[in-house]
A and B are shown apart, each in its own frame.
Chain A
Amino acid sequence: MRKPKALGLVSGGLDSTLALLIVRDILGCEVRAIHFYTGFCITESQRRRGIAGKDGKVKPNEALAAGARLGIEVEMIDISDQGYLDVIANPKYGYGANANPCIDCRIDMFVRARKILEEWGGDFVFTGEVLGQRPKSQRRTTLWVIERDSGLQGRLLRPLSAKLLPPTKVELEGLIDREKLFAISGRSRKEQMALAEKFGLTEYPQPAGGCCYLTDEAFARKFFDILDHRPERRIERDEIPLLATGRHFRISPAVKLIVSRTEGENFQLRRYTDGRYLVQARDVPGPLALVEGEPTWEEMVLISRIVGRYGKGRDRSELVVVWEKDGGKDELVVDPRIEDSSIDAYRI
């Protein structure tokens, strides 16, 4: 009997790591592992801003680390393109509690996985999904919708919950043994931890309660603010890292302000000055800020005061604030002593 070819979607978490071990070591399939990078990963964004773990070291990407533990290459595939962003700005199945269109996101990923599977000549796609583990995307009906809409009917194996789901084509054809699969469901991770022990897996990331920024309430407010202040429902690629950076203020329908909170964010904001104003206090240390849109004179004064408020010159009666864009430079003298309650009204 030929060796089935299986394409695995690996996040690096415990469930997808176990799924990979089951498919490779128990079912004996030829495995190709891929990881989709969406641009919304919280851990990745923290790494980018130099936020280290408890040991002071920047952690490696979790999917790559899982590949290292299992001795398999995990191919990183960047899907943070306009097609993906259009899907999350216009989800057919709507959003979860925040800006998370989990069903549409999964369908988009699985469509891409199907194309890779077909080009590779593989038999099936597998994931670490567990029935009933997540409220929106891992219910029985939802799993079925995702499978149908991605065109992977009968070719999508969830090894951890497979015995609770209809058999896939490879099971029906006898290419893999259904009896070797599992019947795990729900949010408890006890069975997965026991299985990890059997595999001798001692190191794996703890469940973080969702690594995706789209499930974060504060991020969602900023995400929807962009969509609400634009004629068409569209979000641009370079806006995504900025959504996870700094304090955001809606000054007017056409003007937005982003003020950095840390040195790392200063570095981050400097990379996105194209088409935006870079604003900072002149003679005292303080944050960097980006301004999108064309502010009126009154708005420039307000923005300069807000930027001054977050710097070391906040108690001065006068502060010089520098505005730069496309090689041009302006300076404004303002009183930064502004009440927090006045600022809060603009906070997104």
Chain B
Amino acid sequence: MRPHVDRVVDTSGTYCPVPIIETAKAAREEGPGKTLLVIATDPGIEADLPVWCQGTRNELLGIEREGGRYLCYVRLVAKP
């Protein structure tokens, strides 16, 4: 089952690191407890988003491939 999404960040057509820049911007605006759906077409997202989540201590709920798109679910976590 797909998680409830509070905000969609559609980065289709852009190259990494732009999807990460957009994700970070949305994360700053939304704050802890919210879930982002990041849509990307650059395959680099599969490598970049997990390490970004590790560095920012946010939770990567999963990445799904849908045709040429990557649907990435990120739960924003309160910083210690």
Q: Which of B41-76 contact A (CB under 8 A)?
A: 42-44, 46-48, 50-52, 54-57
A24 to B57, CA, bound (A): 18
> Residues of A within 8 Å of B, CB-based: how many?
24
Partner of A60, one of B21, B48, B57: B48
Q: Is B16 an interface position by the 8 A CB rule?
A: yes
A50 to B56, CA, bound (A): 26
Partner of B17, one of A57, A59, A61, A73: A61
- A44-B17, A47-B16, A48-B15 known; A61 vs B55 contact (CB < 8 Å): no
Mask for B1-26, Cβ within 8 A of A = 1, else 0?
Answer: 00000000000000111101100100
Minimum CB–CB distance for B79 against chain A, Å? 9
- A37-B17, A76-B24 known; A47 vs B55 contact (CB < 8 Å): no
Among the 9-residue stretches A64-72, A211-219, A274-282, the one with 4 or more Cβ atoms under 8 Å from chain B is A64-72
A73 touches B56 (CB 8 A): yes
Minimum CB–CB distance for B70 against chain A, Å? 12
Interface size class, chain B = 20 to 34
Partner of A73, one of B18, B21, B47, B55: B55
Name the A residues within 8 Å of B20 (CB-CB).
61, 64, 76
Chain A's closest residue to B17 (CB) is A76
Minimum CB–CB distance for A243 against chain B, Å? 15
A59 to B46, CA, bound (A): 9
Q: Which one of A47, A57, A78 has the greatest number of beta carbons of chain B within 10 Å? A: A47
A71 to B52, CA, bound (A): 10
A64 touches B43 (CB 8 A): no
Name the A residues within 8 Å of B43 (CB-CB).
50, 58
Minimum CB–CB distance for A35 against chain B, Å? 8
Main secondary structure of the interface of B (DSSP, over half): helix
A67 touches B42 (CB 8 A): no
Q: Which of A55-97 contact B (CB under 8 A)?
A: 57-61, 64-65, 67-68, 70-78
Partner of A59, one of B42, B47, B52, B57: B47
Minimum CB–CB distance for B72 against chain A, Å? 14
Minimum CB–CB distance for A203 against chain B, Å? 12
Chain B's closest residue to A72 (CB) is B55
Name the B residues within 8 Å of A78 (CB-CB).
17-18, 21
A61 touches B56 (CB 8 A): no
Minimum CB–CB distance for B35 against chain A, Å? 19
B46 touches A58 (CB 8 A): yes
- A68-B51, A68-B54, A75-B24 known; A61 vs B16 contact (CB < 8 Å): yes
A73 to B55, CA, bound (A): 5
Mask for A288-301, Cβ within 8 A of B = 1, else 0?
Answer: 00000000000000
A50 to B41, CA, bound (A): 12
Chain B's closest residue to A12 (CB) is B51
A44 touches B16 (CB 8 A): yes
Q: Which one of B20, B55, B57 has the greatest number of beta carbons of chain A within 10 Å? A: B55
Partner of B51, one of A61, A75, A77: A61
A selection of 7 A-B contacts at a CB cut-off of 8 Å is A47-B44, A48-B16, A58-B43, A60-B48, A61-B20, A64-B20, A73-B56
Across the A-B interface, the 9 shortest Cβ-Cβ residue pairs: A67-B55, A68-B54, A68-B51, A60-B47, A76-B17, A73-B56, A60-B51, A64-B51, A68-B55
